[in-house]
Structure 1
Amino acid sequence: MNHAMPVSERIDALLWSRRLEEMPRWQALPTWLGRLIYALTRDLTQGYLSLQAMSLVYTTILALVPLLAVTFSVLKGFGVHNQLEPLLLKVLAPLGEGGVEITAQIISFVDNMRVGVLGSVGLALLIYTVISLVQKIEQVFNFTWRVSTQRSFSQRFSKYLSVILVGPVLFFSAVGLSASLGGNPLVQAVIAAKPFGEVWHALGQLGPYLMISLTFAFFYVFVPNTRVHVISAVVGALIAGLLWEVIGGMFSYFMASSTRLMAVYSSLAILILFMIWIYIAWLILLVGASIAFYHQHPEYLRIRSRDLQLSNRQRERLALILAGQVARRYESGEPPWSSEELAQTLGVPKTNAERMLGVLEDAGFLIRTAGDVPTFVPARSTDGISVKSMLDAVRCFEERESGCRGTLPDGEIGRIETGIDQAIDAALGGMTLRDLARALDGPASSGPFVELPRG
């Protein structure tokens, strides 16, 4: 490595000079971790995560009391509502005495909220505020997971209902069950034995960490409008839980030594610190979501930027490979490809693969099957789809959206464009999608899309 190189070029050469598949395991894992840290640092410094966390602070403050009121009403029906205050105390523990004061005020607001007094308009506003918070969280998570499509109304209703109602019930029931097990005589007898007692004590120490990690994993699985693998959600949740404990301890130390801040802002200091902690809490949650995303989609760690920008030539190349792979499986009778499988096999980001598949679908060359995980098959007989027509669709797919579509220009520019079009037609010689599928002997590599630095 040339020591005269700038730091950024050294990092590029260290992390992206070779493919992970070409490295031994002991070298591939540190390189993958380095790419992950680079991606997280990039998302933080370029504002992708911090701006989203800031937007959630305002929504959280606005919807916190209504959300707790709805949760309190549900938990009261299951007899576990008394555990709401201890949970708030744990969440706001880094605020020290200020956390106790804020918890008391929030619980007081919740206790004073009477649904019968609110009336129909007030109740509708209460529910809307709670729904808007979950909807905002979904939008932020969809941004993290590169999901552009929104859920339908029925899907939102079922998912939001599980997040708002079922989630707290399961969480607090688990907390209550663990507490009741500790007082069971049989469990007490087992704990009395030395090895089991030490294990139980260790589990008690890890209890808060595991509970917050379980809560994070629940959000990662159910909130984004995409299929999240449980193992990826758990990986992100465990790391986010660890960050919660570590940063929470550091924030508590900061609170204990913030007498100067208290002297400057007086009673407003508690509110300011409360908002800072909410921002940090959301930032931790989003960092864990990003880790879960990169764990499930390692192809996004092949590139230095957050999103891969393809040139016109690369778009055409990717579209032909995607169409050929879809047709190849269709002709061989194998199960059809999903967009995620194609992206991981080709080593390209899922957003790029989905966009090109969408172009081919809109042009009538592919159709999307119904199901929880949509797959793609040819829209008609593969020998009736010409490769030239697919290339034409890819080359002009943005013209209609931009409003710049027009007739062929006159003069020399028009002659050049006509010549290029005729040359492509002559080079393809009437090649069909079936011919292309038969020419592909296997999944294509990711080389055309992710260029590695040389030297």
Structure 2
Amino acid sequence: MTLNDIQVRMRAVLEYRDLRSLPRWKRPLIGALRIAWGIGREVTEGQLTLRAMSLVYTTLLSMVPLLALSFSVLKAFGAHNQLEPLLLSLLEPLGPQGVEVAENVIGFVDNMRVGVLGFIGLIFLIYTVIALVQKIESAFNYTWRINGTRGLAQRFSNYLSVILVGPVLVVSALGITASIMATSVMQQAMEVQLLGEAVQLAGRMVPYLLIMGAFMFVYVFVPNTRVKLLPALVGAVVAGLLWQSTGWIFAAMMAGSTRYAAIYSSFAIMIMLLIWIYLSWLILLIGANVAFFVQYPEYMLVRRGQVQLSSALKERLALRVMKSIGTRFHEGRGPTPLDDLAHELDMPVEAVERVTDALRKAGLLVTAGQDPVSFVPGRDTGQITLKACLDAVRGADSTVPGPRGEDESVDTLMEALDRALGERLEGVTLAALVERQGK
């Protein structure tokens, strides 16, 4: 078997249309391979790495202001002494150099007195921190195929919530863990050999669980869309495992840092810090892509920017969308969310959204909710003709006028085709299509 044959077989497996027809044990395996394929495609296209590099630059500008703001918040709770251990754990893969970097950063934070900055200085401090979260949101919105951004007021309140509440939650989790471990009941339990080993193992797992929890928090609250908990959890677990394994590899590489110091001299620490920050952001964005593909598996085999619909597919999709929404409405199950339509039809949300927009502009659908976006029929299903559904999408997405002048033979032919279609569908309504399914 040649390498080309292996590639053909691999693509046939990865691009198999309906995973639901496969045995249960094969579905997660093929799904995981598809996610890996999709992430590899995103990385090779370059945008993921480019955005990670952009976040490195923003991090260097925002690191000290962010820690200073977190320090001020934690100080109000009497937990500011936990800031340095957290920073040390994040920079642990840098080895002894990480300790040096952490001490320098903490020194900068101590020298930055938020209380004496003045109004302008405080505004600039908050703006610098918000700019970092805004850059993260922009990267996540790109991952989730979102074009719109939050309003200014919503952006300000949401960002401050993440910045101010996040450190408190992490430190509170550490404090609760330490308090539980210090109780007499836990100390007595640890004296039992098997139970003590299990408790020690759980204690060693706490930092990793906190990292995964922090990733999950970011995946749920930062993107300007509704991210479900299960996809966010899967993305956080993958990102956490990647982050830890990459940290081990990076620490092993740092063990031979004397060679880099011989080349880069005193710049070696800064270069290694930049590389580690870049890898950390890249891992965070990879986890976001995993969460996206878990929530929207329809995108696994679709390249970014290549969601194109033929005229025939638009018409077919319009009838399927109207039938699905009409059926749900007749059964009394309320509005149909856009995400549910995409999953049911096994189509990218972007493709379904183009059709629903055209149907909505024609008055055949009405938006019944924004979180999530949901639809109901625009009028009684007995008054919506299938011909009107087809007409709504036929002229959609056209950005140029028709050809110049008139051609009687072509115009006559097109009118005849349209008239024949109208005669064939005369009197056939959405209600009839829905009733036909129930028979």
Deviation at 1:159, TM superposition (A): 2.5
Counterpart amino acid of residue 410 in structure 1: E
Question: In the aligned structure 1, how far is the partner of 2:288 from the partner of 2:438?
Answer: 37
For the residues of structure 2 that align with 1:349 and 1:282, how far apart are their CA atoms? Answer: 27
Shift of 1:174: 0.8
Aligned amino acid, residue 90 of structure 2: V
Q: In structure 1, what is the equivalent of residue 285 of structure 2?
A: 286
Per-residue deviation, residues 181-230 of structure 1 (Å, max 9, x unmatched): 22233321222222221111101221221111111111111112222222
CA contact (8 A) 1:324 1:440 kept: no
Amino acid in structure 2 at the alignment position of 1:305 = R
Further displaced range: 410-419 or 277-286 = 410-419
Task: Say which SS state the counterpart of residue 25 (structure 1) adopts.
Answer: coil
Residue 56 of structure 2 aligns with an amino acid whose one-letter code is V
Equivalent residue for 2:432? 435
Q: Which amino acid aligns with 1:145?
A: W
Q: Which runs of 5+ in 2 are unaligned?
A: none
Deviations 1:423-446 (A, max 9, x none): 43333325333333334449xxxx
Aligned partner of 1:339 in structure 2 is: 338
Q: Is the 8 A contact 1:54 1:279 kept in 2?
A: yes
The whole-number CA distance in structure 1 between the counterparts of 2:152 and 2:322 is 32
Matched with 2:423 is: 426
Distance 1:338 1:258, change over 3 A: same
2:323 aligned with 1:327, yes or no?
no
- Give the AA of the match of 2:336: W
Aligned pairs for 1:198-277 (under 5 A) are 198-277=197-276
Counterpart residue type for residue 421 of structure 1? D
Query: What corresponds to 2:149 in structure 1?
Result: 150
**Structure 1 residue runs without a partner (length 5+):** 443-455
The residue identity in structure 2 corresponding to 1:237 is A
1:4/1:200 Cα in 2 relative to 1: closer, same or farther (>3 Å)?
A: closer
1:3-152 aligned at under 5 Å gives the runs 3=2, 5-17=4-16, 19-152=18-151
The answer to whether 1:410 aligns with 2:406 is yes
Please identify runs of 4+ aligned residues in structure 1 that moved more than 6 A: none
Does the CA-based 8 Å contact 1:327-1:434 persist in structure 2? yes
Distance 1:320 1:4 in 2: 43
SS across alignment from 1:84: helix
Partner of 1:446: none
Name 1:349's counterpart in structure 2. Answer: 348
Summarize deviations over 1:251-301 as a string: whole Å, max 9, x none: 111112133322222222222221111110011111111222222222333
1:300, 1:427 → 2: CA distance? 36
- Change in 2 beyond 3 A, CA 1:183/1:310: same
SS in 2 for 1:370: strand
By how many angstroms is 1:154 displaced?
A: 4.3
Instruction: For residue 7 of structure 1, report the CA deviation from its aligned partner.
Output: 4.7
Query: Superposition pairs for residues 293-332 of structure 1, below 5 Å?
Result: 293-301=292-300, 303=301, 305-306=303-304, 308-332=307-331
1:356-398 CA distances to partner (integer Å, 9 max, x unpaired)? Answer: 2222223322111136333211122233333333323322222
Distance 2:427 2:403 in 1: 25
Distance 1:420 1:53, change over 3 A: farther
Cα distance between partner residues in 1 of 2:211 and 2:372: 30
Distance 2:414 2:269 in 1: 67
**Offset from partner CA, 1:119-172 (integer Å, 9 cap, x none):** 222221211111121122112112212233322344334422321111110111
Give the aligned CA root-mean-square deviation in angstroms.
2.3
Structure 2 Cα separation of the partners of residues 413 and 122 of structure 1 = 70
Contact 1:366 1:377 in 2 (8 A): yes
Q: Percent same amino acid among aligned pairs?
A: 47
Q: Is the Cα contact below 8 Å between 2:130 and 2:160 reproduced in 1?
A: no
User: Residues 228-252 of structure 1, C-alpha deviation per residue, up to 9 Å, x if partnerless?
Assistant: 2222222211121111111001011
Q: CA offset at residue 414 of structure 1?
A: 4.3
Instruction: Decide whether the 8 Å contact of 2:70 with 2:167 is kept in 1.
Output: yes
Deviations 1:61-96 (A, max 9, x none): 121111111111111111111111111111111112
Change (3 A) 1:104 1:417: farther
TM-score normalised according to structure 2 size: 0.92
Bigger mean CA offset, 318-327 vs 153-162: 153-162
> Secondary structure of the equivalent of 1:53?
helix
Distance 1:57 1:418 in 2: 59
| Structure-1 separation of matches of 2:181 and 2:246 | 29
* Contact kept in structure 2, 1:71 and 1:168, CA below 8 Å: yes
1:346-385 equivalence runs, <5 A: 346-370=345-369, 372-385=371-384
- The question of whether the paired residues in 1 share the 8 Å contact of 2:335 and 2:368 is answered with no
Question: What SS does structure 1 have at the residue aligned with 2:369?
Answer: coil
- Alpha carbons 2:369, 2:375 under 8 Å: kept: no
Equivalent residues of 1:408, 1:414 under 8 A apart: no
Give the SS at the match of 1:36. helix
> In terms of mean alpha carbon deviation, does 232-241 or 426-435 score higher?
426-435
Q: Distance in 2 between matches of 1:416 and 1:262?
A: 78
**1:282-336 deviation per Cα after TM superposition (whole angstroms, max 9, x unaligned):** 11111111222222222333x3534543222212211221122112222332322
Seen in structure 2, the aligned counterparts of structure 1 residues 11 and 386 have a Cα distance that, compared at 3 Å, is same
Mapped contact 2:189–2:196 kept (Cα < 8 A): yes
Q: SS in structure 1 opposite 2:358?
A: helix
Distance between the aligned counterparts of 2:222 and 2:239, measured in 1? 16
Kindly indicate whether the alpha-carbon contact (under 8 Å) linking 1:191 and 1:197 is maintained by their aligned counterparts in 2: yes
Q: Which amino acid aligns with 2:210?
A: M
Contact 1:366 1:379 in 2 (8 A): yes
CA distance in 1, matches of 2:13, 2:330: 42
Number of corresponding residues: 437
Letter in structure 2 aligned against 1:322: V
Aligned partners of 1:97, 1:416: CA distance in 2, in Å? 79
